[in-house]
Amino acid sequence: MAAAIVAALIVGVLVGRSTAPGTTLPAGAPVGPTGVSGFDRSCTGAASAAGRYFTVMNSPTVALDSKASRETIDQIASGRMAGELNAAVPYLVAPYAAGTIGQEYRAGVPTIQLGVPLGYKILTCTPDRVTVRIWTVTVRGNGGSVSPMQFWRTVQTELAWQDGGWRIVKGWNRDGPVPYWTQRPLPSRSENQVLVMRVARGMKSFDSLP
């Protein structure tokens, strides 16, 4: 879990839960597509929110700062889910924030901390609840003593419309699929091709979202 980096903070510890009361965004909170609010109440609006939440949680200003992580969680997750995610910060964020990469980042060492949603698929959609699956890659490293690493994950989130915005209420994530030449241990080429295509089939680029 810890090796999954901050991407796991969003969904790695999510388990099935009932919808809880929403969390109201603070006044002046940034809005989509540059922040974590302002997304349309639509299927694609929820998908855009899910992708943006992943990106924000994996940005260096959030992923390498425990306080910023908690503040962001309170904006994107709901009730009990927000509590569970906040409880995971000491295990999933703090070690990196206080560790070498966090220290060197704050010292000005050029740092890569980037999460990119590659594609999405809307699995279910109602006016109040949407389930989205995204395929992601996160890169972490710097120009100092932390060699860049990549983390490929499939992320599924269920979002509920609460207090005028989309909030994460359920979800899961798992490793992969990984492009063939980067995965260890290596599956057969045909097995990996089947896995990649099964996840990617039907997904659309986030560039297609409004």
- pLDDT tens digits, residue range 27-59? 344 444 347 888 999 999 999 999 999 999 998
Residues with Cβ within 8 Å of 72's Cβ and at least 6 positions away in sequence, in order, are 36, 56, 57, 62
User: Do residues 195 and 176 lie in contact, with contact meaning Cβ atoms separated by under 8 Å?
Assistant: yes
Using one digit for the tens of pLDDT, what is the confidence trace for 194-204?
A: 776 577 567 66
**Residue 69 reports pLDDT greater than 60:** yes
> Which residues have CB under 8 Å from 20's CB, separation 6+?
78, 79, 80, 81, 169
Range 100-113 average pLDDT: 92
Instruction: Give the pLDDT score at 66.
Output: 94
Structure tokens at 188: 């057969």
Specify the number of domains making up the chain: 1
Whether 154 and 8 have beta carbons less than 8 Å apart is answered as no
Domain span at residue 73 reads 2-208
pTM of the model: 0.76
